[in-house]
Amino acid sequence: MRDFSCFSENGVQVVDYSSSSTSSSSNNKAPQNLVTCVYECLFQGSSCFITITWSKNLVGQGVSIGIQNSSNEFLCKVDIKPWLFTRRKGFKSSLVDSSVVDIYWDFSLAKFGTGPEPREGFYVAVAFDQEIVLILGDLHKEVYKKIDRTPRKPASAAASSDAVFVAKREHIFGKKHYGTKAQFYDKGRIHDITIECYSEKINDPSLVISIDRKAVMQVKKLRWKFRGNQTILVDGMAVHVYWDVHSWFFGSVVGNAVFLFQTSLSSSAQKLANSISSPSSAFSWSGPDSQQGQAFSLILYAWKTE
């Protein structure tokens, strides 16, 4: 299901492979504990995208791994069901246009926090014709032992791989405070992001977004400004922040707010974002041309738990 586009014409939409996927549409209000990450790399000389969707529910944790080209055509897909009912270690190989696509995973020693993503003791790896293009997790040496190859880079740098982290979508939960961790560009510093909705007066809520416990933007009279956009600076880069909290305040059922953090390295993209006059257009902005600079998108679905 493709429900949220935030890339250029050469990009790909964030994909959720869960059959009960939650979108920002009011037609489905069941929150899902999901984290989706998208990585860009090359396959046979052209861009392709590796999508990793982590999920958590009452019966266990799971992950879906999909590989698709720039035309959104699937090359390969692996669904690992909740690990309560399946092996935590595995391998799958597929032949795609005369190339071999291998996917390796090992969660037998994985440790988790409250979210669906493992923190340590695991690996997920993708290889094209036995060349590793993406490694996630901290067990890099085990991956190369598995395929009996020597890494092209030192072991300490193996995590960098050849794929570029271009997007992340996450469902977060709270009453008034929502928090997560994210990096705003590939291999960049990891920051703490906090979103707070509070009322100094009755029925007069405000929105505050903080990076590493420092407030970087505030929106007062949020009921009137339930959609909008603003530019902040993080690590010396412009980060365009878009919000839509309409579902928090209006409608018969309390839904999820949506926040988009879009970075770009090109000045033309910054001018484009600042020139948007309609707040509702924030979620259809295509972003900068990929030739002008690599962009990163962080999409947060914020669900009220009360």
Total domains in the chain come to: 2
Residue 153 has pLDDT above 90, yes or no: no
C-alpha–C-alpha distance, residues 164 and 155, integer Å = 18
Residues 293 and 215 placed together within one structural domain of the fold: yes
Q: Which pLDDT tens digit goes with each residue over 34-51?
A: 999 999 999 988 889 999
Residues 161 and 209 placed together within one structural domain of the fold: no
Last residue of a domain, one of 113, 132, 165: 165
Query: Across the beta sheet with 204-211, what order do the strands follow?
Result: 177-183, 190-201, 204-211, 214-219
Q: Which pLDDT tens digit goes with each residue over 186-238?
A: 777 899 999 999 887 778 899 999 999 999 999 999 999 999 999 999 888 88
Which tops the pLDDT comparison, 148 or 220?
220
Last residue of a domain, one of 98, 133, 165: 165
Q: What is the pTM of this model?
A: 0.78
Residue 273 has pLDDT above 80, yes or no: no
27 lies in a domain? no
20 lies in a domain? no
Which stretches within the chain are classed as H helix?
A: 140-147, 246-249, 267-274
Which tops the pLDDT comparison, 226 or 264?
226
C-alpha–C-alpha distance, residues 188 and 158, integer Å = 16
Distance set, CA 178 to CA 117, 122, 193 (Å)? 17, 27, 8
Residues 222 and 197 placed together within one structural domain of the fold: yes
22 lies in a domain? no
Residues 144 and 186 placed together within one structural domain of the fold: no
Q: Which residues contact 138 (CB under 8 A, 6 or more apart)?
A: 120, 121, 122, 123, 159
Whether 166 contacts 40, CB under 8 Å: yes
159 lies in a domain? yes
Residues 201 and 289 placed together within one structural domain of the fold: yes
The confidence score (pLDDT) of residue 21 equals 38
3-state secondary structure of 140: helix
The confidence score (pLDDT) of residue 82 equals 82
6 lies in a domain? no
Q: Which pLDDT tens digit goes with each residue over 75-107?
A: 888 898 887 777 788 889 999 888 999 999 999
The confidence score (pLDDT) of residue 241 equals 95
Q: Which pLDDT tens digit goes with each residue over 105-144?
A: 999 888 988 889 999 999 999 999 988 999 999 888 888 8
| Residue 15 DSSP class | B
The DSSP line for 22-47 is --SSTT-----EEEEEEEEEEETTEE
Whether 207 contacts 219, CB under 8 Å: yes
What is the rounded (10 degree) CA torsion for 291, 134, 22, 9? 20
The confidence score (pLDDT) of residue 30 equals 57
Q: List the domain range (segments joined by +) for residue 76.
A: 33-165
Residues 87 and 139 placed together within one structural domain of the fold: yes
C-alpha–C-alpha distance, residues 284 and 169, integer Å = 16
Whether 19 contacts 10, CB under 8 Å: no
9 lies in a domain? no
Residues 117 and 149 placed together within one structural domain of the fold: yes
Q: Which pLDDT tens digit goes with each residue over 48-72?
A: 999 999 999 888 889 999 999 877 7
